[in-house]
Structure 1
Amino acid sequence: MGNNGKRILTLSDLFGMAIGMVIGTGVMTMTGIAIGYTGRSVNIAYLLAAVLTIISSIPPLFILATARFTGGQYSQISVLAGKKAGGVYAYLNIALTLQSTLTLLSLGQYVLTLFTGWNAKWVSLIILTVLTLLNATYLKSSAIVQKIMVAILIIALGSYIVQGWPNLVPNYTSAPDFMSGGIVGLLKASIFVSSALGGATYIADYSDRMKNPVRDMPIVVVVTTLVVGILYFFVATVAGGVLPLSEIANKPLSVGAKSFMNSGMFTFFVVGGAIFALLTTINSGLGSKPYPMRISCQDGWLPKSWGAINEKFNSPHKLYVIIYLLNAIPLVLGIDISIVATSITLVFVSIRILMAYAAMRLPVVMPELWEKSKFHVSKPMLNGLCGLSLVVNLSSLYLTLSGKSAKEILMNLGMLGLTVVFMLLRYKKANITASYEAS
């Protein structure tokens, strides 16, 4: 229902997109901060974070295994949680576009570390242009490029592990450097780095272009989170064990890497690790965002004409242009959107809450498909597991917001409030379509 494009993305394509969504610069920057919480046990924190991430992903997994939702998470929330919830998500999804602008700026700065004298703004704009054109015209080619970049990214992180492992300090697990913050410090570190493992559930936004989403998406979400969590365990072991804690706490991975990598390998690590982590994250975001936005246009939350499909390339070309402009204008004009782009913690948790409620509605809204779902459980079990996911997400929200300033908290609340206002203004003009099918 509502499919106007070719279903071309395979299981391996989805793994490439999902890994690119999960592995970002978070591991490069967050690991050092997590070391400050828990010391050398930061590796255990990553394993625990992988478990917490999967628990928080339980509601989306139930939905993914039940039906193909043409508009990804927008359709899931609209159909299952209701019209108002769908409208709020439609506008939250636009707000999340600003994150790509910040990622592009970071990418430009990393490029300048290798090519001094270049203009970071224009480097970022060129990269944005190339990736937008690639996704808007040849999505399958974009998926292939993504898999190549992910392979290089994993090789870069692998080289960090292999070269750093022989340099680990003796008595790695001894006090006081191991579990330096006690159980509380370990839990804080786990919740903090869990954001570096999230993101795989957003492959739902590619649902309209997948060959077999009901089978493939749950596999990709769980396997990607576990595999990346194990990879991060080894990365974090090296990060926490090659230098004294005083030299690596609250520092990026590059600080430790310099102590055991020669200049050539260090350059490869910066390019293949940091730069490719940013590239894969940007590429995945640009590729997936237009599809839920297209269905929200069809439903009336956004102008219907924006969701038109290009017959030659089978893609929503107008939405690609709009997303491009939303990212390009702040870059070209030098508009500071850092506070807005980074103050979206409440936005992410709000989406998780909407997804949990949507999953609880599966037996009511689509009882026949839910009965056939491979993940079918009793209603009390469904509600209990979704409730557990909510506890994990709300705990993460509390910890994250407790470290933010009053201004950032108000920005979070303000952004969420604006989406509610826009939803109410368009509510009477919007009509939810049943944009889902069995497979």
Structure 2
Amino acid sequence: MTMKSLLLGAAAGIAAIGTAQAADLPMTKGEAVEYVKVCSEFGAGFFYIPGSDTCLKIGGEIRADYRVFGGTGFSRDDNRSAFGTQGRIWFDARTQTDWGLLRSYFQINASGRTASRSGLGDTNKFEVDKAFIQFGGLTAGYAHSFFGFYDNDYGNTIWAPYYAQSSTVNLLAYTAQFGGGFQATLSIEDGRDHRSTGGFAPFQNANAVWVGYNQGGQQFPDVVGQLRLDQSWGGVAVQAALHQNRSGENFLFDVDGDGDLDPVVNPHKSKVGWAVGATALIKIPAIEEGHFIVEGQYANGALHYLGTGNTISSGADYYLAPVGLLGQGKAGKGWSIVAEIGGNITPVLNANLVGSYIDTKYDNSWGPGNPDFGIKEYTIAGNLTYTIVKGLTVGLEVAYTREQRDNDLISAGDGETGPVFDDVKRNVWQAGVRLKRKF
């Protein structure tokens, strides 16, 4: 046997052994890699959640605020500087179904410590801004009230207050589309989210004790209805709301003037307040995003719909007009209006001018034949926002707020009501800068 034959035989044996061992190894297959795909059906920023037909958009922003305050207020807190930082993140998930669009939206805000006159600072705060489900015309969860649309669609101030419905509430609503931009909404909203109770001591009884209107639990939620028309030139809407007010049963105050609190039983009372409003929007074609919008509302026993939560001294839906040592529940009344004009002066410079006014009144709040009590407040604000690069802006705002209280009675602490001060005024101005990174 030649050497060549020996080498060929050895190579064949090795190959046979390797083939036999390879046959004993398990067969493997590379796993399929599923890449994230862009979802263009709902606009920019959406992508398909892997393994599903649901499109998701994740966004957020960081706000860094620097402000100064001044004016002729009633406390040290009215003249100060303040810092504030807030982070926001939101998730918008949408699926197109045979029954219409299924959407869920969730946003959480996290605020950092802010300056306070005590020097200790406020604690960090996390809060749910919105969390709701939409399916066809149904909206369920924690969402913006359907009373008006100025705050939800516009409301382009940076910090300055304005007086309109601006609350996120627990609700269950249905919106019917009739074509041509016309729609109607019926919303059942949590009345506890629409209470206006603070900032106003209703009356002083004969023994110089301030007595408030004690809120009871709600029996039925607020009912809000809106008719709205959206067109290329702008839009209009009218809205109305019903709001229940229930008094608690027991009040404690010093009836005999001996310094001890005595139980006085007032029966449960239930009263229904109401509010109506209208909104008009005109788009300005000559300016990019140009718009003029005005929204006004009137309320009787439902002052929260006026935007009292944004005022210096929020009013009460109901109060106790004195009858002897007891009280009779009466409705607070008022109206408010807000107007805004704005748009992009250049592709990178946006400007807005906002003015707002609120007027609340409490008839015979000091008893029959006594003066009425009223609170009036207005705010004027202007801002400019400059886009430095895409996603990064710097905004400057200046605002002035004036509050006036009519017929404010002050107790001298001796059991007698002191003098009446007409036209008690409070002036507050603020100016500041906001840096915002949105992604």
TM-score range, shorter chain: under 0.3
Larger radius of gyration: 2
- TM-score by length of structure 2 reads 0.20
The structure whose residues are more often strand, as a share, is 2
Q: Which has the higher contact order (CA 8 A, sep 6+)?
A: 1
The structure whose residues are more often helix, as a share, is 1
- TM-score by length of structure 1 reads 0.20
